[in-house]
Structure 1
Amino acid sequence: MSIATLLTPTMSSEELYATADFCLIPMGTNESSVAEYIAECARVLKKSGLAHTMHGYGTNIEGPWLAVSQAIHDCHKAVHAKGAPRVATDIRIGTRTDTKLDEGHSNDNKLKRVQDILAKDK
């Protein structure tokens, strides 16, 4: 399967749509800041075309399972190419088959649902 096929917005009925949160950690860089390495990963994610949002300790990303996995792989490869001899990543991935997901907005919609519930507390 080609990268172009993985990154197309339409999915086959068998492919799972994944929402993921991952934290990529460059190691052995002899620097206390890893910002340059994380910026390189951000460039990779932008090129992937997948919906993603970086936050203080990781990144939310969503799309077809294989494309999400490929994007995380490509981040590892880019961070190694930038000079990090080791890269560790924690990943949480969720999928749903009980409802139609708003592709590209699944993580945003989950957050909005909680915010709407909390707004009722006021």
Structure 2
Amino acid sequence: MNVIADLCIVPIGVGVSVSPYVAACQRILTEAGLDIQLHAYGTNIEGDWDAVFTAIRRCHEEIHHMGAPRITTTLKFGTRTDRDQHMADKVDSVTAKLTQG
């Protein structure tokens, strides 16, 4: 089953800059072969259910390995069975409506 997810992982107890941890997670998601889009407060992820959630677990494991004693994560995700839908489809749909006036 394909899933589209929005992931925000915040390591706690590592100071104010979290970009090294975000970069480590981005590498894991990329290496997993997932379609990802980094945004200001998280990452959109698209792929097979098991691959997505396995990669998210690996992100947690790596961030702890990097020294974060705690992590808080916000995860939103959705699936469809009526048709194939990709992240770009969702954005394109809104963009088309904006250009229609």
Measured against the shorter chain, the TM-score band is over 0.9
User: TM-score, length-normalised on structure 1?
Assistant: 0.80
**Equivalence map 1:10-89=2 (5 Å):** 16-29=1-14, 31-89=15-73
* Gapped regions of structure 2 (runs ≥ 5): none
Instruction: Tell me the SS of whatever aligns to 2:83.
Output: coil
Query: What corresponds to 1:114 in structure 2?
Result: 94
Structure number having the greater strand percentage: 2
User: TM-score, length-normalised on structure 2?
Assistant: 0.95
Per-residue CA deviation, residues 55-80 of structure 1 (Å, 9 max, x unaligned), is 00000001111111011101111111
Q: Among the aligned pairs, what percent are the same residue? A: 43
Instruction: Tell me the SS of whatever aligns to 1:100.
Output: coil
Runs of 4+ aligned residues of structure 1 deviating over 3 Å after TM superposition are none
Residues in 2 aligned to 1:77 and 1:119: alpha-carbon distance in whole angstroms: 43
Higher relative contact order (CA 8 A, sep 6+): 2
Q: RMSD across aligned C-alpha pairs, in angstroms?
A: 0.8
Which has the greater radius of gyration?
Answer: 1
| Count of residues in correspondence between the two structures | 101
* Gapped regions of structure 1 (runs ≥ 5): 1-15
Per-residue CA deviation, residues 3-49 of structure 1 (Å, 9 max, x unaligned), is xxxxxxxxxxxxx21000010010011x1111111111111111111
